[in-house]
């Protein structure tokens, strides 16, 4: 639990510039006297609810989502409790602003919209003294670190230090969706340069003006960062985010056994997509063991989904080899087949014996999958031909266009429903509006990792687990799928409403914590009521009283 540190009663205006303690016009008459705020604020005392109304009015008056993003970040910088109250009470409206798709645009413009420092930067210039500089972080009880090196931001590519918007946004979701206290969250940018020529030629770029470093120097900096984080914040959970494929897979493999660490792009994406497929079975009436999935894109997300899907099939008694044959991949070179040369290591387990096929549409016709999952970052690749073919093969084709942001989606919700005569079971990575086909209104599901990573993180933090394991993500997938209601399914949605995300996260956290207790991953004694213990740890955005 978080202990509110009483402020210096003579701090005066200083407290108004502390986002953790600032209450703005909500300071009571007694607090204004005790804290020397009399005269520094307008005379009327407002409730938090009244402040929320003011914020909503300002947000909704902004002409663009990027301006709404800037307004919300400014609010976060001055009053975190009010920021999170607004986000939590209006999550479906605010989440597309503070995260996908708007955060992608914010990262692309980061050097131009930079206002105030937020998060922590570790660069190649700090090599050899990373622990020393990390002691500058003001909050000494960090429980969760989200770190990126900016190489593969969403589907937008190498944005270098401008990728800091992603850890900031992810951690805002950890707090809003799972109640991790804001002061326990630490966004980190590992700046190793960028190969983005536009950024290198921009005089306003905030990162190192050099090309991206790889190899030994990169590895030494990353290891120094992880070592420092573990020493300064014992038990901290580290989430690696939006790293390039080569680094992501090998860093996860290298550190997962001895560090409380996971990769959301691999494991979180895997769990949320598989949860959607499990829920879709309640619509199709099929079984997981009967599914054949064709992936467009064989990077972190696609392989992560396949790994979780294979784990789910093995849980039901299928062999590893047989389970992998339910997953097929098309990448930039065509169908992933066993006799291809120079194949990346993470692709080899899913390279099956088959004749080469160059085009995705031809792979759909030949393999006749029950589901297609798009993770390519290539918009429009689920063409009308592809969707109509899927609808001919399957009574209820599963079509997940999961690339982020919305502009990168393989097809739109309207296209999937229209081209399949309303029979597609559709989900996307970023939000799409409901679609009306005839007299039926379809509400597309959003296969957003926010359904998974906050709950997993909360369960790990509450239980004080020393590791994050694959079985935790499989449990999270089952937990999420179980929370999809019949009403959701009737509207074509294979995920719960985002408005229920804190309930979803709490139940996932309970299942994750149970795995930690049962398997001895923690020295903490198992509480009598795990769910109640989870709720007890969840932050709520209310103002403390200072007088």
**What residues are annotated to the active site?**
99, 170
- Give just the sign of the alpha carbon dihedral 496, 502, 503, 509: positive
**In a 3-state reduction of DSSP, which class is residue 208?**
coil
Q: DSSP per residue over 86-150, as a string?
A: HHHHTHHHHHHHHSTTHHHHHHHTHHHH--S--SEEEEGGGTT-HHHHHTT-S-S---EEEEE-S
190 touches 120 (CB < 8 A): no
Distance CA 241, CA 147 (A): 6
Q: DSSP per residue over 432-457, as a string?
A: ---EEETTEEE--EE--GGGTHHHHH
CA atoms within 13 A on the CB side of 443: 11
Closest alpha carbon to 191 in 243, 153, 150: 150
Closest alpha carbon to 260 in 163, 180, 144: 144
For residue 268, the 8-state DSSP code is I
Peptide bond into 101 cis (omega under 30): yes
61 touches 83 (CB < 8 A): no
CA–CA distance from 121 to each of 167, 192, 260, 340, 514 (Å)? 11, 11, 21, 40, 35
Provide the angle, in degrees to the nearest 10, between the axes of the packed helices 470-482 and 501-518: 140
Distance CA 270, CA 264 (A): 9
Residues 6+ apart with CB under 8 A from 128: 224
Task: Decide: residue 374, CB within 10 A, 0-12 exposed, 13-18 middle, 19+ buried.
Answer: buried
CB atoms within 10 A of CB 41: 16
239 touches 263 (CB < 8 A): yes
CB atoms within 10 A of CB 441: 11
Element (H, E) at 428: strand 425-428
237 touches 468 (CB < 8 A): yes
């Amino acid at each position: 639990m978080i202990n509110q540190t009483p402020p210096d009663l003579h701090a005066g205006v200083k407290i108004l510039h502390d986002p953790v303690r600032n209450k703005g016009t909500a300071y009571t008459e007694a607090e204004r006297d005790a804290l020397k705020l009399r005269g520094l604020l307008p005379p009327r005392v407002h409730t938090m609810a009244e402040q929320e109304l003011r914020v909503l009015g300002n947000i909704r008056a902004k002409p663009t989502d990027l301006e709404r993003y800037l307004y919300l970040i400014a609010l976060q910088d001055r009053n975190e409790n009010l920021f999170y109250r607004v986000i939590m009470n209006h999550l479906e409206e605010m989440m597309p602003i503070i995260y996908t798709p708007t955060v992608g645009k914010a990262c692309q413009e980061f050097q131009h919209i930079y206002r105030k420092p937020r998060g922590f930067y570790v660069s190649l210039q700090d090599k050899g003294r990373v622990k020393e500089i990390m002691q500058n972080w003001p909050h000494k009880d960090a429980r969760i670190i989200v770190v990126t090196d900016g190489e593969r931001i969403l589907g937008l590519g190498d944005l270098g230090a401008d990728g800091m918007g992603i850890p900031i946004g992810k951690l805002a979701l950890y707090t809003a969706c799972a109640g991790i206290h804001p002061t326990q969250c630490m966004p980190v940018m590992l700046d190793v340069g960028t190969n983005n020529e536009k950024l290198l030629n921009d005089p306003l770029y905030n990162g190192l003006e050099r090309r991206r470093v790889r190899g030994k120097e990169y590895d030494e900096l990353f290891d120094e960062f992880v070592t420092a984080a573990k020493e300064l914040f014992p038990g901290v959970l580290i989430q690696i985010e939006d790293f390039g494929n080569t680094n992501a897979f090998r860093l996860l493999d290298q550190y997962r056994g001895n560090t409380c660490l996971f990769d959301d792009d691999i494991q979180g994406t895997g769990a949320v997509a598989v949860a959607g497929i499990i829920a879709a079975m309640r619509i199709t009436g099929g079984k997981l063991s009967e599914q054949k999935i064709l992936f467009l894109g064989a990077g972190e997300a696609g392989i992560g989904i396949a790994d979780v899907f294979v784990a789910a099939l093995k849980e039901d008694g299928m062999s590893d080899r047989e389970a992998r044959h339910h997953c097929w991949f098309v990448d930039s070179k065509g169908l992933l087949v066993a006799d291809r040369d120079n194949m990346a290591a993470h692709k080899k387990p899913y390279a099956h014996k088959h004749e080469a096929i160059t085009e995705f549409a031809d792979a759909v016709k030949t393999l006749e999958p029950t589901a297609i999952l798009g993770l390519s970052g290539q918009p429009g690749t689920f063409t009308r031909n592809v969707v109509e073919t899927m609808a001919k093969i399957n009574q209820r084709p599963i079509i997940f266009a999961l690339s982020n942001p919305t502009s990168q989606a393989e097809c739109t919700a309207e296209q999937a429903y229209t081209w399949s005569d309303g029979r597609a079971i559709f989900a996307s990575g970023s939000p799409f509006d409901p679609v009306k086909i005839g007299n039926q209104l379809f509400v597309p599901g959003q296969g957003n990792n926010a359904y998974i990573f906050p709950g997993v993180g909360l369960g790990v933090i509450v239980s004080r687990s020393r590791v994050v394991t694959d079985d935790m993500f499989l449990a999270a997938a089952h937990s999420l799928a179980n929370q999809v209601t019949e009403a959701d399914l009737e509207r074509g949605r294979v995920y719960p409403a985002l408005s229920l995300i804190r309930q979803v996260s709490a139940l996932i956290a309970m299942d994750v914590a149970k795995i930690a207790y049962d398997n001895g991953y923690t020295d903490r004694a198992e509480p009598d009521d795990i769910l109640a213990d989870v709720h007890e740890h969840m932050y709520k955005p209310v103002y403390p009283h200072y007088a």
